[in-house]
Structure 1
């Protein structure tokens, strides 16, 4: 499988890429415009290289805080660091990006391109907050850039991930134009509406997965819409082995688990033998917010009912908007099979992701959010500056493709290759 090369466009923290790497595909480039996410990708490249070359103790030293980021990067080949291209994908930058990718390829073929452009322009929430329904947003047309990479590298297949709103954005015209353009470049597409829960992720996360294939390479694709990964549990399994935290507390590097692992954490690769817990950090909250959290948790635990903002006591209501986002305070229910969707807004506040334990009385930590997205505990989310950067980590996690879902998709495509 090392002969199967792929490029990750709009890579983010690398959740989609992670699944393909786990299935043996070889990344030749990750392109990402966010600087913090680019550092995360470089750190993950170090993880994979050191693990494959029996030097994993160096990565463990990094998770323990014994060596800094610069030292970690010095321990791996420079071409791996440079394969993470921190640039926006655009007409102005493409020539330079192509040059770097071509150098890394060394005349080898690109078998696969993965990735999905930023989704704000297609999302229902993004359009609701926009004065012109996002019609003027240039991100509507980033699929054109995606097509340019298909034309240049001619992969046998591609995987394009995005939000469900892509189907309805512009009354469906963007998706239709996308299909026409991909057809023009020599590719047929199949569009799947998938739910991460079906792939073993403990989260109700519905997304579009577009699988494209070159017209001379026609695969027999599985039905990803009705896919069943066979891995199920309840949300409490991701909390069960983590130390209790109070709001505003936690350790970036590193702390110990409070108990042994469980079968779900092992089977989902979240805990994989390294007893080093990082980024279990909770954000601070005001006294008022913590009062609201207690009401929300009690309401869920007693009646399995969600808190409506309008039902709060008057002295706790500070928002003027009483008609929309009335579920802005929401508990991550631990007694069901899948939580509600983790999104990038978690970087701004934790009100929509309240921890179910009333004694801890806080929103979920960085590591808990990562686990809901099925990231393994050895996955470290970087900031622009080295050290704890809770906001940058939350943003990357919320924007990511769940690695466990990506792993199942990669496994099915590997069979086709």
Structure 2
């Protein structure tokens, strides 16, 4: 019997996907997953349905018909029962809302017997903890962190731990949680105290075992009675690129093990780094669209070529000969006839992909690339993107700030552009290195996520971001494109989640 998983603040389901994928679902099975945002919940439910019907040839055929645009819905009469079951597993719930809390509690009361082995996974929303979120909050005149409910959503997670006592829990959050303060106190220290002794948080004396909070990468742990200032909180940071994830995603991940259970496990093992090229090389090239101007393939190509030629001439005049030559080469390589992609973009040619990646990402039943659609950019940004990608290919790093954006027409209209505050305003993902962190900010604009090919002159698509997050190609993100970007940016990489699930299985199996 698989060990039950309860997934809170699930997003589109990256963490749960990893647990479900370990040994093809034979070790762990999601009992319930909870997500409040409607489009993420749609994605979550669709993936739950996919897992339920995966081994049923007739039912799974209709899922692929939906992905391939041949059916309006992913289910039919024969798979209606599985679709209904997926709605019972993947719930749209707002934790902290009394009605939704009651729904969650009723499911756990009915389906989690006291002596069952089970695991709680997930992480509270991170806006209040993230450095970007905190800087934005500082600009709000009446903002007080102690009054921000997002700081305390982890207590909904904690309430389940106190009341249900899972053998193990996994809690993930942004690195900014380590330095975030409420009322002048570091919130991470309080979180360690709370999670290790959930009874004490609610003013109750402890009559049941507490938890030891382990790092996944070092021998560091915390348990009730220890002084949290005696440990280095950075020991709880997992740097994903060190473990074969094609992205430098640094997150705090806490492994809580009940103190009456032996926590013998092998920590995450370093793996070779995976580059952007290795996971994006087989996706078809696209062009961006041009916003606020006439938009055809020819008009786009002409605009990009003009920008690159002008920049090459300016670089030549400023005695930047290597850069000028690279910009001219980029201009000559710009192609006409490129499309901008689509929610379902036809698969015409299959390019070789690295063997380690092919078995995880590819699905021969898909006739389309899903969620592979370029966004529109202003022509001024086409100039910056083409320049930045060319510069990065030449110098091995993304250009920073006004000093490296010194050619004509590159400076954005910011009063403080030369102050250094916007040094990373435009960031290229390099082909030969892991990507920088894919975050939900990718939904706002593409400036931090410029495609490394200057002849495509655009930001990453949802599918490319999903590849960097290690979602399989048959993971179909629902909602509009902005919502899809949010889902991908907020998720835990499923390939990393599998490694975490393996650690949990060592403890419980």
Aligned to 2:126: 119
Alignment of 1:120-135 (within 5 A): 120-131=127-138, 132=143, 134-135=145-146
Distance in 1 between the 2:12 and 2:348 partners? 24
Distance in 1 between the 2:83 and 2:465 partners? 31
Any idea what SS the aligned residue of 1:161 has? strand
1:209 to 232, 253, 258: 253
2:153 to 139, 142, 151: 142
TM-score (norm 2): 0.75
1:161 to 172, 175, 191: 172
Distance in 1 between the 2:157 and 2:453 partners? 44
What is the aligned residue count? 406
Alignment of 1:180-191 (within 5 A): 180-185=193-198, 186-191=210-215
Distance in 1 between the 2:348 and 2:169 partners? 39
Q: Deviations over 1:318-345 (max 9, x none)?
A: 1233231321111110022x11111000
Distance in 2 between the 1:143 and 1:295 partners? 43
Task: Compute the displacement of 1:194 (Å).
Answer: 0.7
RMSD: 2.1
Distance in 2 between the 1:182 and 1:352 partners? 35
Q: Deviations over 1:148-190 (max 9, x none)?
A: 1112222100000011111111176322222222222322212
CA contact under 8 A between 2:366 and 2:474: conserved in structure 1?
no
Any idea what SS the aligned residue of 1:212 has? strand
CA contact under 8 A between 2:75 and 2:83: conserved in structure 1?
no
Structure 1 residues without counterparts, runs of 5 or longer: 384-388
Task: Compute the displacement of 1:220 (Å).
Answer: 1.7
2:44 to 24, 28, 41: 41
Distance in 2 between the 1:370 and 1:330 partners? 18
Task: Compute the displacement of 1:285 (Å).
Answer: 0.8
Aligned to 2:482: 391
Higher relative contact order (CA 8 A, sep 6+): 1
Task: Compute the displacement of 1:39 (Å).
Answer: 0.3
The yes-or-no answer on 1:94 pairing with 2:101 is yes
Aligned to 2:371: 279
Alignment of 1:253-268 (within 5 A): 253-256=344-347, 258=349, 259-267=351-359
Distance in 2 between the 1:70 and 1:264 partners? 29
Change (3 A) 1:10 1:257: farther
Q: Deviations over 1:364-396 (max 9, x none)?
A: 11110000111110101111xxxxx21111000
Distance in 2 between the 1:133 and 1:198 partners? 37
Higher mean alpha-carbon deviation, 255-264 vs 233-242, is at 255-264
TM-score (norm 1): 0.91
2:190 to 164, 173, 177: 177
Task: Compute the displacement of 1:114 (Å).
Answer: 0.2
Structure 2 residues without counterparts, runs of 5 or longer: 199-209, 216-235, 290-339
* The structure with more radius of gyration: 2
CA contact under 8 A between 1:11 and 1:32: conserved in structure 2?
yes
